[in-house]
Amino acid sequence: MKEEIMKIKLNKNKFMEDYIENLQRITLKNFEDTSDKDKYFALCDTIMERINQEWRDCKNKTKKTKKAYYFSAEFLVGRSLGNNLINLGIYDEVKELLDEIDIDFESIENFEDDAALGNGGLGRLAACFMDSAASQKIDMYGYGVRYREGLFKQKIENGFQVEEGDHWIKDGDGWSIRVESDSKIVKFRDQTVKAVPYDMPMLGFENGQVNTLRLWQSEPFEEFDFSYFNNFQYDKAVEEKNRAEDITRVLYPNDIQREGKVLRLKQQYFFCSASIQDLVEKYKKYFENDLQFENFPKYHVIQLNDTHPIVAIPELIRVLVDENGIDFDRAVEITKKTFAFTNHTVLQEALETWPKDIMLEVCPRCFDIIEKINDKLVEDFKAKGLSEEAIDPYRIIRYDQIRMANLAIVMSISVNGVAKLHTKILKDDTFNHWYKIMPEKFNNKTNGITPRRWLVYSNIRLSNFITDKLGSDDWKYDLNKLKELEKYLEDDKVLEEINQIKYENKKDLARYILEQENIVINPDSIFDIQIKRIHEYKRQHLNILHIINLYHRIKKNPDMNFYPTTFILGGKAAPGYFRAKAIIKLANEVARVINKDPDVNKKLKVVFIENYRVSYGEKLFPAADISEQISTAGKEASGTGNMKFMLNGALTLGTYDGANIEIFEKAGVENNYIFGAKVEELNSIRDSYSPKEYYHKNSDIKDAVDSLVSGELNDDNSYMFLDIYNSLINPQGGEKADSYFLLKDFEDYKKVHEKINEEYSDRKTWARKALKNIANAGYFSSDRTILEYAKDIWKI
């Protein structure tokens, strides 16, 4: 690979000839008449031409080797152009070459839309794993869904979230190859569709490895019924086309109503069925001279990324039994040796269950198979003398509900959590009954992030600084080498460089926010950032309540000692999640009130960014001073945003939750800010907790909470703020008040903010803390995580 990079560097003329030829070929225009869109797609073609040979070679040489197959409903890859150039080692050269012919690289780079293939941390983790597997030369194949519209594009109108389609492929897709010949037939009870694969190259970092991400798109066999059209039934003529395309139109269709649940299960079964068929078909082709299905697990290990792809388990059994004549019990044993399961949550509502009637409507044969597995499981437990009541927690089917996590645990070689605390909770609580009888299956794999995307590409200033201080770029291949930066912790000149890099990044973000949100923010202020999916357990509303109280305190005492602070929030709420949408409205209303108040807005600003996504994150993480990781202890499985902030020199303000704990361990508690009750304390008070005690005893809490219903903040008669108020104070509908303990943690949260505000002015000490975090971020590389999967679970 290094030789190939040198060829490109030495043969700039050939590269430019190819680029200009591609530009004119795809447009039939003279160079000077082409647009940024034309220039972007021509560059995609030119890069793809340079990786195609290596991609084919990697596919060919691994046909008969053991590979990991990563099944995930999400792959949040973001933009591909810059990242691919970084991994090829030619980013700077290409920018220089384009500059020589007066092409603004940034303009064509910004033309690319983020691939709308995911939502949050789950999907971004999958993307980081694809990058790390290739960079560590691990043969891993990704399988997912090619969503036409993604989750949605978030618009903020009058403070409310409005969802629009995120049609990221409207102008084409320069990084995917349609492989029509590998199409599969997926049969539902009432519908048959064609699954067409689109392959995306996943490049290793300067090493010649190109793995594949295969995304399935649902299409009809007949796009148009001429007889209906000719009979003036125009909608009917394209009905089958629309029904087929609906399956892969949107990520996580709204499932409040039954129709949505059916569509969501169809989506899951669709990509799992196509992927399983693909694997089995290739296995039969590559091993046709010695075809023994007992050897299937020797060449395949399928990692299930959370509960969404678990239906792949009965689907493999179906394909083995119904399409290849394998005895059912043999098929079950083969399947048990093939799958591994990653759990990403301790929230019961996120551990998928499917009603029997919906499973029968979508994939009835899979239900038959699950029922047989369940019957055998129950039979085995009864033979051991367990009562019906004792067996209940283990049942895969109970009260006509199919518990997918139980199916995955029974049928997998491994069950892993994604942070030390998360795995401990799985063992001690969530899956304790399983852990007691099969402890050998359970293990921890703390999540990680790829340094190529989240430092080398998104924070070039800091990346160059690290290379300069360490004397080489070896750290890009082994992030543990960042530890060597600790020798500069007492170097005043280096600490000043750290502060200056952060300041330049903050100026970049300020310009971008002005351009995108039309809000002026001060780069000299503290940038306090919370960006993630909107959910009550992530407690964005704790952040907002504190901002409200802070606003009131500054308003009453304009001369109070306070370091100017900009609070930046961002994230999407699921379309059917009323309270999460209420939190977004609240954030925007608080921002409106504060930002227009001349008595306060020089000291305090609030921004809720619109349509948070990977490319926005690439600007936010490098600019952050404070990383808000304030979930209720025990609720966040891991988090990966916390790692991206740490790697870029932000200090973590967080609870003792998820991977925060390991961040505090690695970088030191004294270099971050911890607050809030721990899991053990919350468990001990859960039944007796009374939020009204905090509300009545603490005037700051009462001040902030009352503002929700005092008329100071306007929710446009949506009753959203009243709903948040009631959720904190008044139990309703069987739901406990303040079930995420905002009011219990509020005072501690307020005090740690006061400490931050006081300590930030000591710029040298702050820079030392930032450098300490950067130097100890090596453990959180997804390279380390993927190597642990390969060694401990996949055995490759």
Long-range contacts of 575-579 (CB under 8 A, 24+ apart): 575/152, 575/163, 575/254, 576/254, 576/255, 576/256, 577/534, 577/535, 578/720, 578/723, 579/536, 579/720, 579/723, 579/724, 579/727
Average pLDDT over residues 165-177: 94
User: Is residue 716 left, alpha or beta, with left meaning phi > 0 and alpha meaning psi from -120 to 50?
Assistant: left
> 584 and 438, same structural domain?
no
Band the pLDDT of 463: cuts 50, 70, 90.
very high
Rounded to whole angstroms, how far apart are CA atoms 132 and 140?
Answer: 10
pLDDT at 167: 94
> 574 and 722, same structural domain?
yes
Residue 20 inside a domain? The answer is: no
Query: Angle CA(6)–CA(9)–CA(15) in degrees, nearest 5?
Result: 120
- The answer to whether the beta carbons of residues 98 and 36 sit under 8 Å apart is no
Q: Quick count: other Cβ atoms within 10 Å of Cβ 751?
A: 11
pLDDT tens, 274-290? 999 999 999 999 999 88
pLDDT at 5: 41
* Residues noted as catalytic: 344, 532-533, 538, 640, 644
pLDDT at 230: 77
- The answer to whether the beta carbons of residues 449 and 643 sit under 8 Å apart is yes
The number of CA neighbours under 13 Å toward the Cβ of 148 is: 12
pLDDT at 350: 73
Residue 1 inside a domain? The answer is: no
pLDDT tens, 404-438? 999 999 999 999 999 999 999 999 999 999 999 99
Residue 102 inside a domain? The answer is: no
pLDDT at 221: 87
Rounded to whole angstroms, how far apart are CA atoms 83 and 523?
Answer: 27
pLDDT tens, 119-148? 989 999 999 999 999 999 999 999 999 999
- The answer to whether the beta carbons of residues 358 and 258 sit under 8 Å apart is yes
Q: Is the pLDDT of residue 94 over 90?
A: yes
Distances (CA, A) of 762 to 499, 600, 759: 11, 23, 6
Residue 525 inside a domain? The answer is: yes
Q: Is the pLDDT of residue 89 over 50?
A: yes
Residue 40 inside a domain? The answer is: no
Band the pLDDT of 259: cuts 50, 70, 90.
very high
3-state SS, residue 597: coil
Residue 33 inside a domain? The answer is: no
Average pLDDT over residues 533-538: 97
Output the CA torsion sign for 728, 732, 736, 740.
Answer: negative
> 465 and 422, same structural domain?
no
pLDDT at 231: 78
> 467 and 411, same structural domain?
no
pLDDT at 8: 43
> 684 and 771, same structural domain?
yes
Closest by CA to 276, choosing from 365, 402, 350, is 365
- The answer to whether the beta carbons of residues 580 and 160 sit under 8 Å apart is no
pLDDT at 3: 41
DSSP of 406-440 = HHHHHTEEEEEESSHHHHHHIIIIITHHHHHH-GG
Task: Put the strands of the sheet holding 565-570 in their side by side order.
Answer: 604-609, 565-570, 526-531, 626-629, 651-654, 673-674
Domain boundaries, position 652? 451-780
pLDDT tens, 627-646? 999 999 999 999 999 999 99
Average pLDDT over residues 285-306: 96
Q: To the nearest whole percent, how much of the chain has pLDDT over 90? A: 91
Q: Is the pLDDT of residue 381 over 60?
A: yes
> 337 and 377, same structural domain?
yes
Query: Angle CA(152)–CA(154)–CA(160) in degrees, nearest 5?
Result: 130
Residue 106 inside a domain? The answer is: no
Six-digit token string for 235? 């909608």
Rounded to whole angstroms, how far apart are CA atoms 541 and 84?
Answer: 38
> 431 and 462, same structural domain?
no
pLDDT tens, 599-611? 999 999 999 999 9
Rounded to whole angstroms, how far apart are CA atoms 83 and 77?
Answer: 10
Residue 5 inside a domain? The answer is: no
Task: Put the strands of the sheet holding 353-355 in their side by side order.
Answer: 353-355, 401-403, 397-398
Strand (E) or helix (H) holding 71: strand 67-71
Average pLDDT over residues 495-507: 98
Beta strands in 179-310 (DSSP E): 184-187, 192-203, 210-219, 300-305
> 557 and 475, same structural domain?
yes
Distances (CA, A) of 772 to 221, 264, 451, 755, 768: 58, 44, 17, 19, 6
pLDDT tens, 20-51? 999 999 999 888 899 999 999 999 999 999 99
- Contacting residues for 510 by C-beta, under 8 A, at least 6 apart: 520, 521, 522, 523
> 439 and 465, same structural domain?
no
| Amino acid type, 568 | I
Beta strands in 306-411 (DSSP E): 339-342, 353-355, 397-398, 401-403
> 326 and 195, same structural domain?
yes
DSSP of 235-264 = HHHTHHHHHHHHTTTSSS---SSHHHHHHH
User: Is residue 691 left, alpha or beta, with left meaning phi > 0 and alpha meaning psi from -120 to 50?
Assistant: alpha
Band the pLDDT of 1: cuts 50, 70, 90.
very low
Long-range contacts of 288-293 (CB under 8 A, 24+ apart): 293/320, 293/324, 293/326, 293/330, 293/331, 293/334
pLDDT at 794: 98
Band the pLDDT of 346: cuts 50, 70, 90.
confident
- In degrees and rounded to multiples of 5, residue 127 shows phi and psi of -65, -45
Mean per-residue pLDDT over the chain, rounded: 95
User: Is residue 634 left, alpha or beta, with left meaning phi > 0 and alpha meaning psi from -120 to 50?
Assistant: left
3-state SS, residue 78: strand
Q: What Rg value do the Cα atoms of the chain yield, rounded?
A: 27
Rounded to whole angstroms, how far apart are CA atoms 20 and 220?
Answer: 38
> 534 and 430, same structural domain?
no
Q: What is the value of pTM for the model shown?
A: 0.95
> 225 and 126, same structural domain?
yes
- The answer to whether the beta carbons of residues 587 and 715 sit under 8 Å apart is no
pLDDT at 435: 98
Residue 735 DSSP class: B
Q: How many domains does the chain have?
A: 2
3-state SS, residue 545: helix
Average pLDDT over residues 696-722: 97
3-state secondary structure 557-590: CCCCCCCCEEEEEECCCCCCCHHHHHHHHHHHHH
DSSP of 656-711 = S-TTHHHHHHHH-GGGSEE-S--HHHHHHHTTT--HHHHHHH-HHHHHHHHTTTSS
The number of CA neighbours under 13 Å toward the Cβ of 79 is: 23
Q: Is the pLDDT of residue 342 over 80?
A: yes
CATH number at residue 484: 3.40.50.2000
pLDDT at 192: 96
Band the pLDDT of 256: cuts 50, 70, 90.
confident
- 780 versus 347: which is more confidently predicted? 780
3-state SS, residue 216: strand
Query: Angle CA(454)–CA(455)–CA(456) in degrees, nearest 5?
Result: 115
